[in-house]
């Protein structure tokens, strides 16, 4: 039994007086002081809040300037790097992540290694390899497939290997040379086959989308989340809101590239595309907020100068783009958990997973406090 005392317990449902009692990996009670706890943590008058849920990471990527250089790494090297990244992730207060693309079975294997205690880290919800068109964005770590029949088979392969979400590239991307970010890659028929095959097994889907046409194609077939959405226009935003499609903005991904540039070693072609996307990103936020698009926090951690240990920076960027601190807190806890299909994560209530952080002050008022957690508890264990 673990007790966090002398702290206020905060989640989207409000604030309550502590202490918070944890037992067998779950929140056991709030407000009552138990007899003879095994461990007592002094919250020092601060706040106990849910651990962050990052709905877009790449566990094998490490923020290097040229992301494509990872393709020459061996499988053991990728696994060692993933273990390091995930240790830093959980130490930073992120207690659940969705891995949206790693080679082979690295995502599911890492999920299992953390779950059985072999390595420390957050809970991992993996997609396996993203399903992409031949030569499309991310082809070097994706499962290439063309036409509805091939796409359907590729989805079933990922599910067989342990994927809990299916990822695709509906448009080109910034970090693949020659891929056009404004145009679409997966056809509507291919996207429809992908969603249908995933839905047959009750699995959600995610679509990397920059251009408005790609966004609309993905939303119309029932995609669960649009990742990036940098060229979202008013029509696309309204379609997303109408269909309750989550937007995962990943503001840190663009900022990591545009704020460092080619002089830091990022390929010039990637910088040029990122600058083009960044110019449209402000409008995308305006359209999304005006339409009431549901938002979940995701960092795209692993892309250039976007490190796993810095996930809390994404919350600050979301506030800078016009989302209120309270709505940002919601996006990084219950919204992201809902997107991942986890109904016992993101809240602090009896029966919920014991994922929490001790902070100096209330993150509903100032999300920057997540950058320096005083204590992290993941699945009931002090990190």
| Same domain (yes/no): 106, 207 | yes
SS (H, E, C) the chain: CEEEEEEEEEECCEEEECCEEEECCEEEEECCCCCCCCEEEEEEEEEEEECEEEEEECCCCCCCCCHHHHHHCCHHHHHHHHHHHHHHHHHCCEEEEEECCCCCCHHHHHHHHHHCCCCCCCEEEECCCCEECCCCCCCCCCEECCHHHHHHHHHHHHHHCCCCCEEEECECCCCCCCCCCCCECCCHHHHHHHHHHHHCCCCCEEEEECCHHHHHHHHHCCCCEEEECCCCCHHHHHHHHHCCCEEECCHHHHHHHHCCCHHHCCCHHHHHHHHHHHHHHHHHHHHHHHHCCCECCCCCECECCCCHHHCHHHHHHHHHCCCCHHHHHHHHHHHHHHHCCCCCCCCCCCCCECCEEEECCCCCCCHHHHHCCCEEEECCEEC
- Give the pLDDT of residue 301: 98
| Same domain (yes/no): 66, 215 | yes
Count how many domains the chain has. 2
Q: Within 10 Å of residue 279's Cβ, how many Cβ atoms?
A: 12
- Give the pLDDT of residue 182: 79
Q: Which tens digit of pLDDT belongs to each residue from 98-155?
A: 999 999 999 999 999 999 999 999 999 999 999 999 999 989 899 999 999 999 999 9
| Same domain (yes/no): 300, 214 | yes
- Give the pLDDT of residue 134: 96
| Same domain (yes/no): 43, 72 | no
Q: What is the CATH number of the domain that holds 132?
A: 3.20.20.140
Q: What is the CATH number of the domain that holds 43?
A: 2.30.40.10
Q: Which tens digit of pLDDT belongs to each residue from 247-297?
A: 999 999 999 999 999 999 999 999 999 999 999 999 999 999 999 999 999
| Same domain (yes/no): 27, 138 | no
| Same domain (yes/no): 172, 310 | yes
| Same domain (yes/no): 158, 281 | yes
How far apart (Å, rounded) are the C-alpha atoms in residues 383 and 378? 7
- Give the pLDDT of residue 159: 97
- Give the pLDDT of residue 167: 98
| Same domain (yes/no): 144, 205 | yes
| Same domain (yes/no): 327, 178 | yes
- Give the pLDDT of residue 311: 95
Given a cut of 50, the residues of the chain with pLDDT beneath it are none
- Give the pLDDT of residue 346: 97
| Same domain (yes/no): 185, 284 | yes
Of 60, 61, 52, 217, nearest to 133 by C-alpha is: 217
Give the residue numbers spanning the domain of 230: 52-339
- Give the pLDDT of residue 174: 93
| Same domain (yes/no): 252, 374 | no
| Same domain (yes/no): 243, 193 | yes
How far apart (Å, rounded) are the C-alpha atoms in residues 319 and 193? 36
């Amino acid at each position: 039994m673990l007790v966090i005392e002398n702290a206020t317990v905060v989640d989207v449902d409000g604030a309550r007086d502590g202490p918070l009692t944890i037992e067998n990996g779950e929140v056991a009670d709030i407000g009552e002081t138990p007899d003879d706890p095994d461990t007592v943590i002094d919250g020092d008058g601060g706040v106990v809040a849910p651990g962050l849920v990052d709905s877009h990471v790449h566990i094998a990527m490490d923020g290097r300037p040229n992301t494509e250089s990872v393709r020459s790494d061996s499988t053991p090297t990728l696994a060692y790097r993933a273990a390091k990244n995930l240790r830093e992730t959980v130490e930073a207060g992120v207690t659940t992540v969705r891995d949206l693309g790693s080679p082979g079975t690295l995502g599911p294997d890492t999920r299992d290694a953390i779950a059985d205690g072999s390595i420390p880290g957050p809970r991992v919800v993996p997609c396996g390899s993203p399903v992409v068109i031949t030569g499309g964005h991310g082809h070097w770590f994706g499962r290439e497939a063309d036409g509805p029949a091939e796409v359907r088979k590729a989805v079933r392969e990922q599910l067989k290997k342990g994927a809990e979400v299916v990822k695709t590239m509906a448009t080109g991307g910034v970090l693949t040379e020659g891929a056009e970010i404004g145009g679409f890659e997966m056809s509507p028929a291919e996207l429809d086959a992908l969603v249908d095959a995933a839905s047959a097994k009750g699995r959600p889907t995610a679509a990397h989308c920059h251009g408005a046409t790609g966004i609309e194609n993905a939303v119309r077939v029932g995609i669960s989340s649009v990742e990036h959405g940098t060229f979202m226009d008013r029509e696309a935003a309204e379609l997303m809101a109408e269909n309750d499609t989550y937007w995962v903005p990943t503001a840190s991904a663009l900022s990591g590239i545009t704020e460092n540039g080619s002089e830091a070693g990022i390929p010039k072609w990637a910088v040029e595309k990122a600058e083009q996307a960044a110019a449209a990103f402000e409008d995308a936020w305006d359209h999304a907020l005006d339409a009431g698009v549901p938002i979940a926090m995701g960092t795209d951690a692993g892309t250039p100068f976007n490190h796993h240990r810095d996930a809390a920076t994404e919350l600050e960027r979301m506030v800078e783009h016009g989302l209120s601190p309270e709505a940002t807190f919601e996006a990084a806890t219950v919204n992201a958990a809902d997107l991942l299909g986890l109904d016992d994560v993101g809240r602090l209530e009896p029966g919920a997973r014991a994922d929490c952080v001790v902070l100096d002050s209330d993150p509903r008022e100032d999300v920057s406090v997540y950058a320096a957690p005083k204590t992290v508890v993941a699945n009931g264990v002090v990190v």
